[in-house]
Structure 1
Amino acid sequence: MFKNQNIIQKFNQLYIIKRSKYLILSDKGNYVTFDKKKYENAKYLTDFTVYRHLEGKSTLGVFATRRASKFICFDVDIKDIHKAKWVTYKVHHALMELGVPKNYIHISHSGNKGYHMEVFFSEPIENYVVKEFHSLVLTHAELIDIDYGDVELRPTAEQGVKLPLGKHFKTKGNKRCWYVDYDKGLEPVRSYNYILNIEPVQSATIYDILNREKDSLLEEEVIEVDNTDDYIEQKYEPLPSYKQNVNEDETIEAIEKLLSEGLPMQGTRHNSLFKLAKYFKWLGLSGEQVNQELINWMEWQDESKYSMKRKDWLKDIEEIVEYIFLNDIQLTVEQKEIEVSYNEMVQVVNICKSKNEKLLAYCLLIHSKRYSNASGVFYMSFNQMATASGLVEKSARNIINKLETNGLIEIIARNQMVTKKNGAFETKKPNKYKVNIQTKPDSNVFKIDSELEYKDSFNSCMVNLFTTDVLKELLPRRQFESIVN
């Protein structure tokens, strides 16, 4: 008999906002909706309902109100267990990149092969804001309209979500939906007490993330612009990914320390392998080479610092490498200070004819300084180019071809198709580029703050690096006037 009243109260605190409407999955495997507004005899959700959920007598699901919710659940509904696992990792990674600290992200089995990923709020958040946040995360994780499943938003006022720690009576053996450990390959945490350590994130954090990102990812309005000299207010905008905080555990120094010293403690094996895989890929190794380097590294690790059997961690390495190369996951080598030099911009100005060519070249130059690998190669999607420059994707595509023709960039890889195991087309990888700009010591530089908390622009860089007289000599009249004005 379940007697821990603290756990019942934790359920009340985290999950329950509406007691007049809820779901019950009976031990027969049937869902029943209790709705006081529709059925006068329906009972309210009580502590006894939660008690029966924890006892495994019936399973509880909750709704949001028509106005707000206490939490967001990313319902990973994917039949293939491996894809479900990797999509869960992608959503988790996207949440952290956007600014949700890891200790506020909680994952549980949904009952079948999927997962529920939840973030709880200190104060209820309006449903339309929760919906925007859900869209932002899926966009950031590149999971919009995937063809092998869904990552659905739950709960809403109309669609409830089944709560963890109960039983899923539609599965063989009526499996209990435990929370899982992200650092241990989503292994179940077979303890009710996990929930007692869950704390909600400050609701202001969610609003701050949306306010920072919505212009580029949620409400972006792009104006079609002819590639002409008289378009005078074309500003460079920082990409959303530039604004992320630098993860101190993923600096080159930290990863090389991990490489030489090994696993620091139990529960870090999976994340360590993931970081090292990104590092080896950044160095330019192939997928096969990365796989072998990770195996070599694991062979000398202290076995007291991980519990997984050899055949299991070999499989985990294979899946990590496949995921990183399939999705082109990059190691973000975030320099503390990015500088664009006078010499570099002279080359941009001399090589590129129109202002939009100069603008896109400037965006590529900054992106390469932040995200290129040890060989100077980086990838940048046309969507990122459009977001950074303000150009529409069609214009960016046309200009890229011109920049390649005039030699300012080299396209290392383009139109790389990703196929499924049966050979069918699945998707395309972003193109990979290298900027062919000579760099040399230069005291005349335009410094860019690492967090890009500023209203910077291509124009600002130009007027900071060049005097008015020099600009007048370098640029056509209309370009000069648009920049100086």
Structure 2
Amino acid sequence: MTLQSAENYQPNYKKQIEKFNELYIQTRSKYLVQFPGRYITMNKKHSERVFALNDSMLKKHLEGSLTYGIFNGGYFNKFITFDVDFPEHAMARWATLKLIDVLVRNFLIFRKDIHVSLSGNKGFHVDLFFDKPLPVEQVRQFYDRVIDKVGPLQGGQIEFRPSWTQGVKLPLGIHQVTKRRCWYVDNLTLEPIESFDYLLGVEPMDTTAVTDLDFGLTEEQTQEFEAVAAETNISVNVLDQSAALQKARRILEAGRLTESNTRHNTTFTLACFFNSQGFERAEAVEAIMEILLATPREYFSKGSTPDFWLKEAKRLVDYAYDHDLSLGNTGKPVKVYRSEILAILQAGTFKQKQMLFAMLVTSKRYGPTFYLTTSTAMKMIGTNSRETVQNAIKALVKKGYVEYRRKGEIDRARSLELGRPRYKPNKYRLLLDESAADEPSVEVTNESTVVEVARQLCDVKEIRKYVKRYEYEHRWR
């Protein structure tokens, strides 16, 4: 392809924009705009005044009047950018050439598939485009392997782009601080190719060079998945997860779908929810099927069958668990009050205290009525004994700290399928008195223990008042 210089050639914006859309654009709802002093993230889902990224904006980018950057869709990448960032241009050149050499020699990437552009400041962007979308974690693993081969870098770094939280500037625009055009460069010499035509010759590479795993999704299927995920708002990369969590709570309370034609979205949301609560895969599938089977048939599209629901439930649960997608507040600190800890101190044995503390945190994260399987409870209190868990919960119920909202209910459909009794996960509700808003409290995370929190909120005398001497000596000192 003969490249024409920028001095005497007006680019064919239509073809350029088509290439941007083919190679770079994954989501139009969230993007970056560069201004002389800073980048601003625009998100259409957070403001109705924000326009979706469109072809007219991409034209402005090529004209140089505005400069845009893009994010991935949250779950998949159709390309990777190695963002080479050094304070000195000479070091950035050296690191970029070393990176390219590693890609060619160690990872057998064809040089024709390595596309380098100026960042507009002192660095470079090294892009690889994929012939099918790849899960983000696979692309990230590839990046980690490459950086490991590149080795230590003094005074700078090579960063992974794009993700849902960290975008990357599109090439061929004007850097709004330095006012330099971000041309592509020759990947042997790093000399600028001052032409807009370069992009027209770029083609995606075979993804097997990056990963041996074929994920099996077409780009259309990936776009559908991204749309569902964005609509249900469940990714840990998404800033506001409250809507999806509230949706899950409503469905669990109702015990069935609450809106028609929402089976797919609901199944995916609940798969992530049950993963965050520590359910085993089979338990998650059973809980989802229980909800679907309890839903009136008119809520489903015509021709939709329970066999298909089960197949989809298994597929979406496997996806959520394989990619460790969690819903809502899994890692979010919750506030525990002094009166709650005093109640826990009086609960009985140390395991019962642990169990009540774990249930308290769970209820604060997922709502007053919550699921809890025996396997999840075992993990919560660090025991391999199902009997220990069951005895602890029975004791808490008997003492009035907890009540069953559902207990020992047989899943009839699943039992018939398996040929043996199969029980639905129990539901619980805490019966602790409501705390006063002005009483002492602490923020509690997944790593916090009942001992640590009690020590923060109570003095030694109070703890010893409720804890037997042997337990105190072995657990609390």
- TM-score higher than 0.5: no
Q: TM-score, normalised by structure 2?
A: 0.42
TM-score by length of 1: 0.41
Q: Larger relative contact order (C-alpha < 8 A, sep ≥ 6)?
A: 1
